Amino acid sequence: MRSQTPGMTEDAAPAERPAICSAKACTRPAQWQLVWNNPRLHTPDREKIWTACDDHRESLSHHLAVRSFLRRVDPLAPPAP
């Protein structure tokens, strides 16, 4: 038997994945995280995260902003030593 735990999912743990830019074909290390939510697909408490390098921060956040999905852009903390 399996109990469902609402709330924290692995999906919402950006620290566990390598911080590489989410832009297509870009493999640069990400320096920003774009926090977004699509109200048609996601409940309001759900936060999706795209990572972005310096070059793609603007284009990716614009892509989300024009759809009114973008919530905020946070600097990504550098990886712990």
Chain contacts with Zn ion (rule: CB under 5 A)? 21, 23, 26, 28, 53, 56
* Nearest CB to Zn ion, comparing residues 23 and 69: 23
Sign of CA dihedral 7, 8, 9, 11: positive
* Nearest CB to Zn ion, comparing residues 29 and 46: 29
CB of 21 to Zn ion, least distance (A): 3
* Nearest CB to Zn ion, comparing residues 39 and 77: 77
Pairing of strands 70-75, 32-36: antiparallel
CB of 55 to Zn ion, least distance (A): 5
d(CA 14, CA 54): 18
Q: What share of the chain is helix, strand, coil (3-state, %, to 5)?
A: 20, 20, 60
CB of 3 to Zn ion, least distance (A): 39
